[in-house]
Structure 1
Amino acid sequence: MEDFLEDDLFLLYTLYGKRGKMPVKDERGDLDMSKVVKPVQATLSSLKMLDVGKWPIFSLCSEEELQLVRQACVFGSASNELLYTTVNDEVFVLGTNCCGCLGLGDVQSTIEPRRLDSLSGKKIACLSYGSGPHIVLATTEGEVFTWGHNAYSQLGNGTTNAGLVPYHISTNLSNKQVIEVACGSYHSLVLTSDGEVFAWGYNNSGQVGSGSTANQPIPRRVTGCLQSKVAVNIACGQMCSMAVVSTGEVFVWGYNGNGQLGLGSSGNQPTPCRVAALQGIRVQRVACGYAHTLVLTDEGQVYAWGANSYGQLGTGNKSNQSYPTPVVLEKDRIIEIAACHSAHTSAAKTQGGHVYMWGQCRGQSVTLPHLTHFSSTDDVFACFATPAVTWRLLSVEPDDHLTVAESLKREFDNPNTADLKFLVDGKYIYVHKVLLKIRCEHFRSSLEDNEDDIVEMSEFSYPVYRAFLEYLYTDSISLSPEEAVGLLDLATFYRENRLKKLCQQTIKQGICEENAIALLSAAVKYEAQDLEEFCFRFCINHLTVVTQTSGFAEMDHDLLKNFISKASRVGAFKN
């Protein structure tokens, strides 16, 4: 199998023409985490709307759409496919739609969320995806649906035709309630409520556990050593399969070229085999990377084995291991492990809430567990894994808690709680005296002995004064570049230097040949040096057109004189 592209996260931006760059540039060699964390944090802070915003593809969704998201899965070789559910149990998809993996009945890409009608109204319990990609999904009712790439019968519908719409699998599963699903690159596993494991799809290395290497077109129960066992957890690597049973034993089968089965050898295993090296250790969970395996024990210990070319075993080196090897973390108990077959990245979370990552990190190698600033293992895959897919179905819980900043923003212009109102251009703006005193030196003195509950304001327009008062609640301004000139005047008058900087940034966005001289004049008048220099440079770069405008013809004499002098010094009039 091919390695994944190192720049795959950038493909989404290239494909859809979205603005911005990813925070970490791919380079081979040792990773300096100090150079990674800060830009990643900056990126995340600009996508705060929901945790799902940490995946770039969510930038294609509107704010209103993001507010409705309750479950989500990002998948695809370049993390450019997305499925999500809403508060109303509607299912939406968007992305490149490779092999019809969006289930819409066609192979057309879409940058607008489209409703997946056949699944809307059903509650999704779990979901997994393959490399094709193909999707396997189970509902809370235990039904299984598959769609997408199917060249190896990984959809379990008895054919090798691409599944363009969700297919309800009933063969051998009609009386079963599926509680967990897992996909390898091109094969699929499901776990039923009675502890049985079913498999189908690509089987070149025995990954469906049938005892042969023939592809399996429909679900068949995995038997052998699992026949009398009750499975409680399943996972898939690229071409291998794992199951944890109720006794805490781990059974493995499939491809073993990198020692990912943990059997002490590199030979493939066509039927389930117990990992004998874990004798006496009770395993609770198993997670598979592309070609490595992690297990979590009931004592909160992590063991790893398999491929280690990126340090994904956390052993401090890049040597493969065919036997389970302890992963040394802090003394705190590990409560969660994370990996997925499409990446060479590992993550773990402690009981104290600390999240560690190791392995492939945007093309770099982190060979020992590294403490991150994240609070979730999901964030590790959003920001560091290649591709930036979700390792499980995300559940986004609505957060009704408001921060102090959010609470203040909500109370601006609220007549129910305000104790002061400004009358501007015949309109009221409702505010709170104490906040104005705290936030603005001007109000600290002007409202000190003022017991009135109405203040008339005639010096500034309603939009400008409202924007100023709102800034005191939100630390941001929402005005057009034209109106921001009036706010710049106010900021200068009230000596609000930070507001003055924000005004200059806004005004710059609206500059053109026609208004460049007017903005330059305003910058000089209000001693906005940064804006003045910006306007001057703009005028020089568009000198021919600017000098033909009415603004230039009506330019103040002293300003014109200074402009010509400065332009001459920078060589604007040279042939």
Structure 2
Amino acid sequence: MARTMQTAKKANQAKRKAASPSPPAPPPAVAEEERQVKRRAVAVPKQALQAIEHESHNTVPGEVFVFGDGDCGQLGLGEDVTERLRPCPVSVDGKQVLQIACGGMHTVVLTEDRQIFSWGVNDEGALGRETAGELWEKSGNASGQPGDPYVPGKVAVPQEAGTVVQLSAGDSHTCALTAMGAVWAWGTYRDSSGVMGFGTHTRIQLTPVCVYEPRKAEDQVVRIASGADHTAGVTAGGTLLTWGNGQQGQLGRVGERLSDRVKMETLLTPHAVPFRRIRGTSNRISDVNCGTYGTFATTSSGQILAFGLNNYGQLALPGQVPVYAPTPVKALEGKGVTLVRSGQHHTLVLAEGGSLLSFGRPTYGRLGQKDAEVSADAACPEPKAVDGLEGVQVAGAAAGLAVSGCFSEAGDGWLWGFGTSNQLGKGDDDEDEIVPKKLAETKRFANQKIVQLEFGGQHAALLCVPK
């Protein structure tokens, strides 16, 4: 099984290197049309906007710790460090950090002075800064002084973007939310055929560019989240925006079949997701969380809606088929859900009272349910409690490709699932964990309180403050 995961990893790296990075120039007619659109947009007066706030914006700075496999630089510890078996601190230009976002093979952080630093794979522009390699060399924009992708490097966000308050990251893209509710992004999205593109006329975006700018207070985005190849944002007015790859239904607004023209114009630009009003509930969205191929939206009345890939019951919906429109998750009704974190084929839910539930694919122990069936095609769509956490007041959680983790109100961590990528932080022990195993304190990782946990494809990252 480990060899299968490693083979898939090498295949993904080969796909990234084979992708053509040259962004085609728009034809004259298209360029003129874009200029006309911009002129019309300027004529529309913008409302006076104020800085946004959302409970998901962390304002307490801490220190970054990483562990797992890092042969492509995703640990940020230099080219010679290809793995860390226990949590290891990362120096981010000597700065404290407010937030971590892990992509498939890259990591980005937001520092206390609101700067963005990135490291890891940059084959498709996910780092947002110049590094060595064909991507920048063929772009015509190389300075001749490329940065090192194996250590944290600063992303130059244009000054007009203003203050950054939140980050999200997917397999090959990164997004940044600003205090005025605009979204900046870079990299690209992928579909089943390879590089899908970043925008209507952009194949790969090398540096940060504005992809969404509000003109009214109700249109300001207050929260962003990313799956492998899609992004979602919640506005102050309660609208859910999605863009990127929608092949598995994860955008919640497109069907199974789309023409190439519709793909470029509709998928890669933020558009609102239509919600059918359900009697006795609100269709105003207050929060969103993305799995690898799925999306969970929370309404202001606390209802959970889901759409996307459901082949192992990871949406807790019946049928094990893709869901293309927002659908109420009846299995979570009445549970007081406060947090949803979804991985590739499984999902974790934090319910009222600090209890943790899981559902989806049970193999490798990722559900943390000791009695779950673990055959190759097994599916567990019914939310059940994670074993081994009795008496633990869970504060946060994360789900990866085949791993899971959580941390308590006291800041202690528990990890379980696939062990071969060293994402469980157990040292030389690379066996799978069927139920949560507490993360041990070490000399480098002592007296630390975990306040955020994130998983990449083969690595994990923690944001910690002193206990």
Which residue number in structure 1 is paired with residue 458 of structure 2? 387
List alignment gaps of at least 5 residues for structure 2: 11-67, 137-145, 422-430, 442-447
1:303 aligns with 2:357: yes
Q: Quick one: which amino acid aligns to residue 380 of structure 2?
A: Q
Relative to 1, partners in 2 of residues 1:19 and 1:99: Cα closer, same or farther, differing over 3 Å? closer
Q: Quick one: which amino acid aligns to residue 388 of structure 1?
A: H
Q: Aligned equivalents of 1:350 and 1:278: distance in 2?
A: 22
Which residue number in structure 2 is paired with residue 332 of structure 1? 391
Which residue number in structure 2 is paired with residue 219 of structure 1? 270
Greater strand fraction, Structure 1 or Structure 2: 2
Q: Indicate which of 326, 329, 343 corresponds to 1:272.
A: 326
Shift of 1:379: 7.8
Please give the residue correspondences for 1:113-262 in structure 2 after superposition, counting only pairs within 5 Å.
114-119=153-158, 122-131=162-171, 133-151=172-190, 157-159=199-201, 161-170=203-212, 176-213=219-256, 214=258, 215=263, 216-225=267-276, 228-262=282-316
Which residue number in structure 1 is paired with residue 70 of structure 2? 9
Q: Quick one: which amino acid aligns to residue 102 of structure 1?
A: L
Shift of 1:173: 7.3
Q: Quick one: which amino acid aligns to residue 127 of structure 2?
A: L
Report the TM-score, using the length of structure 1 for normalisation: 0.55
Please give the residue correspondences for 1:384-463 in structure 2 after superposition, counting only pairs within 5 Å.
386-390=457-461, 394=463
Q: Secondary structure at the match of 1:310?
A: helix
Q: Secondary structure at the match of 1:167?
A: strand
Relative to 1, partners in 2 of residues 1:301 and 1:96: Cα closer, same or farther, differing over 3 Å? closer
Please give the residue correspondences for 1:488-567 in structure 2 after superposition, counting only pairs within 5 Å.
none
Greater helix fraction, Structure 1 or Structure 2: 1
Relative to 1, partners in 2 of residues 1:297 and 1:155: Cα closer, same or farther, differing over 3 Å? farther
| Contact 1:244/1:283 (<8 A) preserved | no
Which residue number in structure 2 is paired with residue 29 of structure 1? none
Relative to 1, partners in 2 of residues 1:117 and 1:258: Cα closer, same or farther, differing over 3 Å? same
Shift of 1:314: 0.8
| Contact 1:69/1:84 (<8 A) preserved | no
Q: Aligned equivalents of 2:109 and 2:415: distance in 1?
A: 26
| Contact 2:343/2:401 (<8 A) preserved | yes
1:344 aligns with 2:348: no
Q: Between the two structures, name the one with larger relative contact order (CA 8 Å, sep ≥ 6).
A: 2
| Contact 1:172/1:220 (<8 A) preserved | no
| Contact 2:453/2:460 (<8 A) preserved | no
Report the TM-score, using the length of structure 2 for normalisation: 0.66
| Contact 1:96/1:110 (<8 A) preserved | no
Deviation track 1:240-280 (CA, whole Å, cap 9, x = no partner) reads: 11112222221100111111110132011110111112232
Which residue number in structure 2 is paired with residue 290 of structure 1? 344
Deviation track 1:327-382 (CA, whole Å, cap 9, x = no partner) reads: 23444353423224x53221222334432222223444211122223655578657
Which residue number in structure 2 is paired with residue 572 of structure 1? none
Q: Indicate which of 382, 403, 416 corresponds to 1:358.
A: 416
Relative to 1, partners in 2 of residues 1:389 and 1:378: Cα closer, same or farther, differing over 3 Å? farther
Shift of 1:196: 1.9
Relative to 1, partners in 2 of residues 1:225 and 1:367: Cα closer, same or farther, differing over 3 Å? farther
Q: Secondary structure at the match of 1:314?
A: coil
Q: Indicate which of 139, 147, 151 corresponds to 1:110.
A: 147
Q: Aligned equivalents of 1:154 and 1:218: distance in 2?
A: 13
**Aligned positions, number:** 355
Q: Which moved more, 1:146-155 or 1:238-247?
A: 146-155
| Contact 1:264/1:323 (<8 A) preserved | no
Which residue number in structure 2 is paired with residue 22 of structure 1? 83
Shift of 1:115: 3.7
Which residue number in structure 1 is paired with residue 95 of structure 2? 68
Relative to 1, partners in 2 of residues 1:116 and 1:372: Cα closer, same or farther, differing over 3 Å? closer
Q: Aligned equivalents of 1:182 and 1:88: distance in 2?
A: 22
| Contact 2:248/2:293 (<8 A) preserved | yes
Relative to 1, partners in 2 of residues 1:292 and 1:129: Cα closer, same or farther, differing over 3 Å? same
| Contact 2:189/2:245 (<8 A) preserved | no
Shift of 1:226: 6.5
Relative to 1, partners in 2 of residues 1:209 and 1:19: Cα closer, same or farther, differing over 3 Å? closer
Deviation track 1:420-471 (CA, whole Å, cap 9, x = no partner) reads: xxxxxxxxxxxxxxxxxxxxxxxxxxxxxxxxxxxxxxxxxxxxxxxxxxxx
List alignment gaps of at least 5 residues for structure 1: 25-39, 402-575
Q: Aligned equivalents of 2:152 and 2:76: distance in 1?
A: 16
Shift of 1:135: 0.9
Q: Aligned equivalents of 1:329 and 1:335: distance in 2?
A: 12
Q: Aligned equivalents of 2:320 and 2:408: distance in 1?
A: 32
| Contact 1:253/1:273 (<8 A) preserved | yes
1:372 aligns with 2:439: yes
Deviation track 1:519-567 (CA, whole Å, cap 9, x = no partner) reads: xxxxxxxxxxxxxxxxxxxxxxxxxxxxxxxxxxxxxxxxxxxxxxxxx
Q: Quick one: which amino acid aligns to residue 5 of structure 1?
A: K
CA RMSD of aligned residues (A): 3.5
Q: Secondary structure at the match of 2:459?
A: coil
Q: Aligned equivalents of 2:74 and 2:240: distance in 1?
A: 39
| Contact 2:96/2:112 (<8 A) preserved | yes
Q: Aligned equivalents of 1:156 and 1:177: distance in 2?
A: 21
Q: Indicate which of 363, 368, 391 corresponds to 1:314.
A: 368
| Contact 1:125/1:138 (<8 A) preserved | yes
Q: Aligned equivalents of 2:395 and 2:197: distance in 1?
A: 29
Q: Secondary structure at the match of 2:180?
A: coil
Which residue number in structure 2 is paired with residue 482 of structure 1? none
Deviation track 1:475-531 (CA, whole Å, cap 9, x = no partner) reads: xxxxxxxxxxxxxxxxxxxxxxxxxxxxxxxxxxxxxxxxxxxxxxxxxxxxxxxxx
Q: Secondary structure at the match of 1:5?
A: helix
Which residue number in structure 1 is paired with residue 116 of structure 2? 91
Q: Aligned equivalents of 1:356 and 1:16: distance in 2?
A: 24
Shift of 1:72: 5.2
Q: Aligned equivalents of 1:231 and 1:168: distance in 2?
A: 23
Relative to 1, partners in 2 of residues 1:19 and 1:222: Cα closer, same or farther, differing over 3 Å? same
Which residue number in structure 2 is paired with residue 538 of structure 1? none
**Higher Rg:** 1
Relative to 1, partners in 2 of residues 1:84 and 1:97: Cα closer, same or farther, differing over 3 Å? same
Q: Aligned equivalents of 1:75 and 1:280: distance in 2?
A: 31
Q: Quick one: which amino acid aligns to residue 148 of structure 1?
A: G
Relative to 1, partners in 2 of residues 1:94 and 1:325: Cα closer, same or farther, differing over 3 Å? closer
Relative to 1, partners in 2 of residues 1:196 and 1:329: Cα closer, same or farther, differing over 3 Å? farther
Relative to 1, partners in 2 of residues 1:185 and 1:86: Cα closer, same or farther, differing over 3 Å? closer
Relative to 1, partners in 2 of residues 1:199 and 1:376: Cα closer, same or farther, differing over 3 Å? farther
Relative to 1, partners in 2 of residues 1:226 and 1:91: Cα closer, same or farther, differing over 3 Å? farther
